[in-house]
């Protein structure tokens, strides 16, 4: 592909093949990984869904949010409450968590997107703080500092996803579906509207796009992804504590997508996997982790501002250029 070009909607085929290959390869992981590493993998895949929400907001719509871990928490607490207090089925609870979080984000979006760009980002930092305060203190719903325990695993009819491997297959299936939906969103009219707003909000308004409504839709889609992540997290761990859904986690999502690249969901996947595995393998260096992130991010911004995927694409472009050059010389 030449520099500065992109095949429009035609690329779906190649994307699907890549996605299917990654998923099939992923399905063999339970054979090689210990159950501890599988748990790490599960949490990484859940993070991936939250990172996808950042991809929709930042990568497609150009809006930076620090509240995604909060929405993740909202999804998780909705699931727990539906299961334990309302005695609903696991599938229904999950759907309510997704829809509820999306609706919640949509309404909040209408208020928050009256602020533009940086002001919106600052407002979401405030939102995250409020979320955290709520999770910690609203005893009736979140269990306060004690958290909620005893959440049953996900089940379809009588089949329970109770061991680590079956949970892994559930989560990887959800990740596959969500990633596929991302591509549909990217090629849809709504996706183009998101990107139009990212590129030039004034011109988007001139073309009849309602910026407030469209950005709220992006926020809602992000909310739905976080809601799904939250529901899966509740089923995975069986125990929810306010200490998980923190501002630090939100920043981590941003770091993950910056590392992988905001071009497409595969970038989000690469970033999430690298950071999640890094956290495991350099556990002895835990005390220096923040320093490593800090310096790493700075280096990344200098050397490869478009992330790892951006770097790969640039290399591929150069390789192609050289190939055509050689062909024309011959």
Partner 1 sequence: MLKIENLVSHYKTIEALHGISLSVGSDEIVALIGSNGAGKTTLLNSISGHVTKSGLIEFNGTDISNMPAHRIARCGLLQVPEGRHVFPGLIVEENLFVGTTAITGIRLLAGNQKEKLDMVFSLFPRLEERRTQLAWSLSGGEQQMLAISRALMGNPKLLMLDEPSMGLAPKVIEELFGKIVEINRLGTPVLLVEQNAKLALSVSARAYILERGNITLEGPSEELISDERVREAYLGKRKSKNQ
Work out whether 321 is an interface residue with partner 1 (CB under 8 A): no
* Residue whose CB is less far from partner 1, 52 or 196: 196
Q: Per-residue x/- mask for partner 1, residues 145 to 184, rule CB under 8 A?
A: ----------------------------------------
Cα 225 to Cα 308: distance, rounded to the nearest angstrom? 23
Work out whether 198 is an interface residue with partner 1 (CB under 8 A): yes
Closest CA to 51 of 178, 239, 185, 142: 178
Residue from 31, 32, 206, 303 that binds partner 1 (CB under 8 A)? 206
CB of 7 to partner 1, least distance (A): 6
Work out whether 203 is an interface residue with partner 1 (CB under 8 A): yes
- Number of residues lying near partner 1 (CB under 8 A): 24
Residue from 22, 99, 155, 209 that binds partner 1 (CB under 8 A)? 209
Neighbours of 290 (CB within 10 A): 10
CB of 183 to partner 1, least distance (A): 14
Work out whether 204 is an interface residue with partner 1 (CB under 8 A): yes
Work out whether 192 is an interface residue with partner 1 (CB under 8 A): yes
Work out whether 195 is an interface residue with partner 1 (CB under 8 A): yes
Work out whether 13 is an interface residue with partner 1 (CB under 8 A): no
Residue from 147, 211, 238, 296 that binds partner 1 (CB under 8 A)? 211
Contact 66, 254 (CB under 8 A): yes
- Within 8 A by CB and 6+ apart from 251, the residues are 66
Cα 316 to Cα 306: distance, rounded to the nearest angstrom? 14
Cα 294 to Cα 283: distance, rounded to the nearest angstrom? 17
Pair of tokens at residue 261: 């690249």
* Residue whose CB is less far from partner 1, 147 or 211: 211
Neighbours of 122 (CB within 10 A): 13
Instruction: Label residues 168-191 b or e (16+ Cβ within 10 Å = b).
Output: bebbbebbbebbbebbebbbeebb
Contact 142, 135 (CB under 8 A): yes
Binding segment for partner 1 (CB under 8 A), chosen from 42-50, 209-217, 236-244, 303-311, is 209-217
Which residues of the shown chain bind partner 1 in the complex (CB under 8 A)? Answer: 3-8, 189, 192-193, 195-196, 198-200, 202-211
């Amino acid at each position: 592909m030449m520099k500065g070009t992109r095949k429009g909607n035609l690329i779906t085929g190649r994307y699907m093949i890549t996605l299917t290959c990654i998923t099939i390869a992923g399905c063999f992981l339970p054979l090689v990984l210990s159950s501890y590493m599988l748990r790490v993998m599960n949490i990484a895949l859940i993070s991936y869904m939250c990172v996808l929400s950042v991809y929709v907001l930042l990568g497609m719509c150009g809006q930076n949010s620090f509240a995604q871990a909060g929405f993740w928490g909202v999804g998780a607490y909705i699931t727990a409450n539906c299961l334990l207090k309302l005695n609903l089925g696991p599938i229904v609870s999950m759907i309510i968590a997704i829809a509820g979080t999306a609706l919640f984000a949509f309404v909040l979006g209408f208020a928050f997107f009256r602020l533009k760009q940086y002001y919106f980002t600052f407002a979401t930092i405030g939102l995250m703080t409020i979320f955290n305060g709520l999770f910690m203190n609203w005893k009736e719903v979140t269990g306060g500092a004690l958290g909620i325990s005893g959440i049953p695993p996900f089940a379809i009819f009588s089949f329970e996803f109770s061991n680590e491997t079956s949970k892994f297959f559930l989560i990887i299936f959800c990740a596959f579906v969500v990633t596929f939906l991302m591509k549909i969103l990217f090629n849809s009219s709504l996706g183009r509207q998101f990107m139009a707003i990212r590129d030039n909000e004034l011109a988007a308004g001139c073309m009849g796009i309602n910026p407030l409504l469209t950005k709220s839709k992006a926020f809602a889609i992000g909310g739905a992804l976080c809601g799904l992540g939250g529901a899966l997290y509740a089923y995975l761990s069986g125990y929810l504590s306010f200490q998980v859904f923190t501002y630090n986690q939100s920043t981590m999502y941003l770091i993950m997508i910056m590392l992988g690249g905001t071009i497409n969901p595969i970038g989000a996947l690469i970033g999430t996997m690298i950071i999640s595995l890094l956290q495991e393998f350099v556990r002895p260096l835990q005390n220096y982790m923040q320093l490593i992130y800090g310096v790493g991010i700075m280096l990344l911004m200098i050397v490869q501002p478009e992330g790892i995927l951006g770097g790969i694409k640039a290399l591929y472009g150069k390789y192609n250029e050289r190939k055509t050059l050689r062909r024309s010389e011959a």
